[in-house]
Structures are given as structure tokens and as C-alpha cells.
Amino acid sequence: MDLHALRLSHPFLILNNTNTNALSLRNTILGFNRRSRRWLKLEATNTNGAALDEAAFEAERLALDAEARSAMAQQGQASISDSNDPKAWKWIIRKRIWDSMEAHNFAQNPRPVHHRIPNFVGASSAADKMRLLDVFQAAQCVKVNPDSPQKQVRFLTLSDGKKLLTPQPRLRTGFFSILESNMLPPGTIKEACTSVGVAKHGRPIGLDEKIKVDVIVIGSVAVDPKTGARLGKGEGFAELEYGMLRYMGAIDDSTPVVTSVHDCQLVDDIPVEKLLIHDVPVDIICTPTQVIFTNTSIPKPQGIYWDKLSPEKLGQIRILRELKKRIERETGQKLPTGPSEKLPPTARRGQRG
């Protein structure tokens, strides 16, 4: 029996037809072509054409995350110390929440939770409450952030047969990836909920993907249950992801935004009048003990606000540069650029291409 090999450049799904039988074995598919009487070995690889080195991928991710948290810590401290910094109030609230979660042992690994979307005791219970929401049960496609406290939400999305849309961490390697339980090898749903699993099993998409997202799940550091005002960890990626999905037509004002947090992350001192136009409000909050419908009146972002986007942030994220060039080409007009800022060097490898 002849065995011929074909190496693919990204995760894929092969469908049976009348001429081919296929057997999926993790990242390898063996297909038998009845006409040629030959077996074909199709192996999924990364975009460099080499098989994914899981250990190296995870080591690089952890190193970049550590570098980013260190830089964000410096930025946050500098902001708090500068009475003229308009973002200082955000960092004061974030620090209070992170400190409290560690002091009261509400935090879960990875710890310390500072400069992260904090994982928390009862995250799975909050996810279970989210699963019972009417909007979640009716959803066919759910966008979920890649952070630790929402891992169970990603698992439940796939376990319930829904399409999972998840961003590649900090958008540094691309854009979004789609995962579906029927495209996963048996027993790999838990793995598919991790960064390595998304790289192995996800299907990367681009700006031209025709997709409808029914629910957006977003991570939070603090959220106000009365107004729906939310603070993330301070890097702004959730807002950029939201804006790009608006551009793609995948979401609109009616798409519910849901977050899961510990009860100690509920606050009442986020000044709505100081929120920026691109800040994303929350419609529903799930904690380990309750579900809160905020009935937020805060307007949702309508897209990417280019006049707020610094050259440094744009330089970090390839997909944003592609989108900017596309819009400028289509409109024949040059888009504005926001003020310069000093950023953590997290997304350096995203500058390639």
C-alpha cells in the first residue's frame, strides 16, 4: 500500500464524499482514495510549514505574557503616581481589585492575578450560570476571550455543539480562530480550550469571513452591576476585537455582551462620564452566586476609532494595519491616527508581515 504525504499550512476539516474515506487522528488525517487506491496522509502544521512545537509555543506565550505584565505594572504605577493622567482612576480601581482578590484568597492560578483578567474561585460556577442564560442556549456562535477564568465557558460552548470564536492572545499572531466540536479529534475539547489547543485545532479566519456572532463573552477586572460599565486589564484588546467584529458585520448593538467575575469584582465607582467612546459596556454579569442584567444605557462602540489608536498599537497588530489599508483604499481617504503612547512590547512578533 502506497502512502503519500501532504502537509497543510493550518488546521483544517476534511469531509467525506463518495470517493474518499477519512479517519481523523489528532492533527493527522489518513484518507483512502478509492479511484487511485492510495492512502493520503494529511498533517496539520503551523503557518511556517513546520509541525507545531507545543512546548516552544507555550514557553514563548508565557515569556511574552510575563514581559507584558511587567511593563503594564510599570505603566500602571506611573499612571497612579501622575495626578494629571486621565487614566489614573482606572488603574486605582484595578489595583484595588487585584490586591483584594489576593488578600482574601479569591484568586485562582495563574497567580498573582495582577495585570491579568483575574482567575477566581467559583469561575466554573459562574460559567454554569452563563450556560443557563436564554441568549447562550439559543446561540449558535459564541465569541469568548482567551483568558483563564473563561476557560469553562469555552468548554461549555464546544460541549454544547456551538461554534467557538476566540481571539489569538493579544492578537499578536493573527486575528480570530474558529473551533467546532465536530472538527475536533475525539477527546480534545479540553485541549481546544487552551492557547496551544486553539493553535493546533482552530481554523484561523480573516476580515472577509462571513460569520454571525450571537453572544460576546468578555473578561473583566471590575464591572458595575448598575450601569454595565467595565474595566479590563488595561491593554484595550477587547475593544479592538469588538470594533473589528463590528466592521465585519458579525455583531451589532443588539448582540449581548456577557462577563463572568467574582462577586468581589462588582464595584460602584466607575464614573460613566469618564469612559471612552471605545469602552465596551456589559449587558449581563454572571458570578458564582448570581446573574445580573445591567440594562446598560452606555452606547456600544460602532467600530474602530482610528483617532484614538496610537501608531505604536497599530504597529503591533498586523490585522489592524491590514484593515486600515483596506478602508483607506476603499474610501480613497487617509484615516486619522491617535496620539503616541508607550506600550508593553508584548506583540513584537505581530509586527512581521
Confidence class for position 127, pLDDT limits 50, 70, 90:
very high
Rounded to whole angstroms, how far apart are CA atoms 174 and 323?
Answer: 12
Q: Please state, for a pLDDT cut of 90, what percent of the chain lies above it.
A: 62
pLDDT confidence of residue 270:
98
pLDDT at 74: 72
* 242-268: average pLDDT: 97
* 5-57 pLDDT tens trace: 444 444 444 444 333 333 433 344 444 444 444 444 444 444 444 567 777 66
pLDDT-wise least confident of 68-72, 78-82, 90-94, 102-106: 68-72
pLDDT of 239 > 80? The answer is yes
Contacts of 17 (CB under 8 A, 6+ apart): none
Q: How many CB atoms lie within 10 A of CB 8?
A: 14
pLDDT at position 346 over 60? no
- Condensed to tens digits (0 to 9), the pLDDT of residues 193-203 reads 998 899 889 99
Mean pLDDT of the chain: 83
- pLDDT given at position 317: 87
Show the cell assigned to 100: 483584594
CATH superfamily of 55-293: NagB/RpiA/CoA transferase-like (3.40.50.10420)
Residues 6+ apart with CB under 8 A from 53: none
pTM of the predicted model as reported, rounded to 2 decimal places: 0.81
Q: Write down the H helix ranges in 252-304.
A: none
For residue 89, how far is the Cα from the chain centroid?
Answer: 25
DSSP-derived letter for residue 273 is G
Identify the pLDDT of residue 43.
Answer: 45
* Confidence bin at 85 (pLDDT 50/70/90): confident
Closest CA to 117 of 105, 127, 129, 107: 107
Residue at 131: amino acid letter: R
In this predicted structure, the answer to whether residue 93 has a pLDDT above a threshold of 50 is: yes
User: Does 171 have pLDDT greater than 50?
Assistant: yes
Residue 318: C-alpha distances to residues 48, 102, 133 (Å): 17, 35, 35
Exposed (0-12), middle (13-18) or buried (19+): which is 83, by Cβ within 10 Å?
Answer: exposed
Q: What is the pLDDT of residue 313?
A: 85
What are residue 8's DSSP bridge partners?
44
Question: What is the three-class DSSP state of 231?
Answer: strand
Q: Which of 309, 298, 149 is nearest to 233 (CA)?
A: 149
- CA distances to 167, 238, 304 from 255, rounded to whole Å, are 17, 15, 17
Q: Which of 222-226, 236-240, 300-304 has the lowest mean pLDDT?
A: 236-240
**Of all residues in the chain, what percent carry a pLDDT higher than 70?**
75
**Domain ranges (residues) in the chain:** 55-293
- In this structure, the number of other CB atoms found within 10 A of the CB of residue 256 comes to 18
Strands (E), the chain: 3-8, 20-25, 28-33, 38-44, 141-144, 163-167, 176-179, 203-204, 215-218, 222-223, 230-231, 257-260, 284-286, 291-293
Which whole number is the average pLDDT over 77-94?
Answer: 84
| Tens-digit pLDDT profile for residues 130-155 | 999 999 999 999 999 999 999 999 99
